[in-house]
Amino acid sequence: MDASFARCVPITGLFFVAILFGSSAQASGPSPAAALRLKPIQTEVDFDLPDDEEIERVTVQAHSEGGVAGWHVYNAAGQLLRRFLDTNRDNRLDMWCYYKGGVEVYRDIDSDFNGKADQYRWLGTAGSRWGVDENENGQIDYWKMISAEEVSAEVVAALRDRDEARFTRLLPTQEELDSLGLGERQAAVLADQIAGAAENFGALAAQQRVVRESTRWVHFGASPPGVQPAGFEGSVRDLMVYDNVSAIVETGGTTDQIAIGTLVQVESGWRVLDLPRSLGEETTADVVGGFFFQQVASAAPESGAAAGGLSETMQQLLRQLEQVDGQLARVSSPAEMAPLHEQRARILEQLASESGSAEEEETWLRQYADTLSAAVQAGEFPGGLARLQNLTRQLEQREAGSELAAFVRFRFMNADYGQNIQQPDADFAAIQEQWREDLLQFVSDYPQSDETAEAMLQLAVGEEFDGQTEQAIEWYSRIVSDFGDSPQTPKAGGAKRRLESEGKVLTLAGTTLDGKSVSLEDFRGRTVLVHYWATWCEPCKQDMSVLRQMLSKYRQEGFAIIGVNLDSNEDTAKQYLQSQTLPWPQLYEPGGLDSRLATEMGILTLPTMFLVDPEGRVTHRNIYAAQLDRELGRIFR
C-alpha cells in the first residue's frame, strides 16, 4: 500500500495538526504510537486507549481487500483497535475507525475525498448516530440518523453544556417539517413552536438548575410510538410519533425526570418539537401533554420523592437497570446474556410494582414484555418465555380484555413462535399451524385491541403464502374496514390492491436515486417490468443478470424495466449501484419495506415483480425471473 497515512486531527477546538508518514514508513507501516495518537474528531467517544505498556505490544499491519486498502491496528491479543482506510484507491486515507472491545464504535468519514472528514458515525455498542459536517469544521451541522433515545440524551447534553447549536440541530428544519406532510393547521402551530424553542433554549439552559456539569443521562422513558395516520386534519402521510417522552438523569446520586415532550420521525432520524420541561420546582406541575395524541401526563411526585424527582427506591432501581443494560452491551454469547436478562426482568418487575400510578405501571410492564419477547426470539433468554406466560395469565385474570393484557399476550405468542422455530428438530408445518390457531384465538379474544390488526396481518400473510388468495384478501379487507387508524392498515390496503391488481391500471410514480422524477405513465406503449428489490436480498441481486439479458434481448421490441429499491439506507443502495450499474431507473423513498412505494402495493417479500402491458394494466402481479423469457417471447411474437 502506497497511500500516505495522513489526516487532520483536532488537538484543541481551534487547531488541527496533520500527521504524515513518508515512503519509509509506508514500507513497514506507521509506528503503533503514531497510529494511536490519532483521535476521533467528535470528542464524546468511548474507545480503547492502550496504556504505555500495552502500546509496546500493539502491531500495525497493511491491509487490502475488495478495493479498499489501509492500516489495521491490533492489540497483543489480536483484537482490532483501529482501522485507517483508503476506500477509493486515490492514495489518501478517507476513513478512520475506532474500536471498543473489538467492536467498531465510531468512524470519521471523508465522503468527498478532499482530505477532511465530513461525516461522523457511532456504531456497534455506541449507538446509531450519524452526523454530517457540511463545512468540514469539526462541528456536526445536522443528524442524518439518530434514535429517539439518543435525541433525549442529546437534549440533556445541550442543557448541561448550555449549547444552543447542539439543541437546535435536534429540531426539524423547515424542509424536514414540510416533508412530514402535515395539515395546514398542525404545520403552522408546529412551525411557531419550533421557532420559539430555538429562540428560547439559551435562556432556559442558563436559568435551569436541574441539569448541571456533573449530570448524566440515565434512561429514556416513553410508551411505544404511535402513528398519526394520513388524512388527519389534512395530512398526506403517516407520521411516526413518540408522545410524552422523558429523560431520567442523575446528579450526585439524585435522580430527576425531564419532560422532553414529543418526538417525530424524519426519514432515518427523530426530531424534538419543543423545549424540555420540568427543570425546576416552579415547573414541576408543567408536564408536557402529547402534541399529537394529547395523552394525560403522570401525576405529580408523591410526598416521599424530592420535588421534580423520583422516590429513593425508584432511583436505586433505575441505577441498577442502567448497570445491567451496560453489561448487556458488552457481552455477546447467550450464556452470558441469559442471567443478565433475568436480572433485568426482576428490576423491571420491581419498577412496575413501585410505580405511583396505573399509567406508570403499564409503561414498565410494556417494556418488560417487549424486551423479554425480543430476548427470547433472539435466543438470548429462553427462560423469558415462562415469565411472559406468567404475566399473561396474571393480566388476563386481573384485567381481562384490556389493552395491556392484549399487548403482553401478543408478545408471549411471538416469543413462543420464535423459540419453537429455533429448535433443531422443529416441525415447521406443525409450528405454523399452531401459530395460525393462536392468532385466530387472539383475534377472537381481542377483536378491537391495538395488536389485533397485526395479528390479522399475520393471518393474511400466511394465507397468501399458502396460495389462499381469497382468504388473504378477506383478512386484508377486515384490517382496512375495522382498523382505519392502525399502522398495519396502509400495508393491508396495499396488499389487497396488489392481489386484485391483474387487469387493472397500476399507478406508480416517484423520484429515482439520482433525483429524477419517473412515472409508469411515461412508459405507456411499452411492456414494463416493475422490480421491487433491496441490496440485502440475495435472490434480488441474482435476478439482475437475467433482467439485463431480457432488456438487451427485448428492448427494441418495446420492453422496459423500472426498479423500486427498498433499502432502508439510501447510501447503501447508491453504493451498490456504483459497482453494479443498471441501465434502468431506480425509484427510492426512505423507509424500506415501510416506505410509501412498498406500502402502496403491500410489498411483503422480495423480489416482487409486476408485468405491465402497454396500456398500463397489470398482466402478472408476481412473475419470476425464470418465467420472463418465455412470457416476453409470447408477448412480442
Judged against a pLDDT cut of 80, whether residue 497 lies above it is answered with yes
Tell me the C-alpha distance between 464 and 454, whole Å.
15
Judged against a pLDDT cut of 80, whether residue 509 lies above it is answered with yes
Asked which of 26-30, 187-191, 363-367, 400-404 is least confident by mean pLDDT, the reply is 26-30
pLDDT computed for residue 568 by the predictor: 86
Segment 514-549, tens digit of pLDDT: 999 999 999 999 999 999 999 999 999 999 999 999
**Mean pLDDT value of segment 598-621:** 96
Q: Which residue has the higher pLDDT, 20 or 343?
A: 343
**Please, which pLDDT band fits residue 159 given cuts at 50, 70 and 90?**
very high
**Please, which pLDDT band fits residue 16 given cuts at 50, 70 and 90?**
very low
pLDDT computed for residue 11 by the predictor: 29
Segment 418-450, tens digit of pLDDT: 999 889 898 999 999 999 999 999 999 999 999
**Mean pLDDT value of segment 549-558:** 96
**Please, which pLDDT band fits residue 290 given cuts at 50, 70 and 90?**
low
Judged against a pLDDT cut of 60, whether residue 484 lies above it is answered with yes
Judged against a pLDDT cut of 60, whether residue 455 lies above it is answered with yes
- Which contacts qualify for 510-513: CB closer than 8 Å, 24 or more apart? 510/564, 510/587, 510/588, 510/589, 510/596, 510/597, 511/587, 511/588, 511/589, 512/585, 512/586, 512/587, 512/588, 513/565, 513/570, 513/573, 513/574, 513/577, 513/586, 513/587, 513/588
Judged against a pLDDT cut of 50, whether residue 329 lies above it is answered with yes
pLDDT computed for residue 25 by the predictor: 33
Residue 379's alpha-carbon distances to 349, 368, 382, 433, in angstroms, are 21, 17, 6, 22
Give the up-direction half-sphere exposure of residue 427: CA atoms within 13 A in the CB hemisphere: 4
Write down the domain spans for the chain: 8-141, 146-301, 314-449, 509-636
Q: Domain 509-636, what fold?
A: Glutaredoxin (3.40.30)
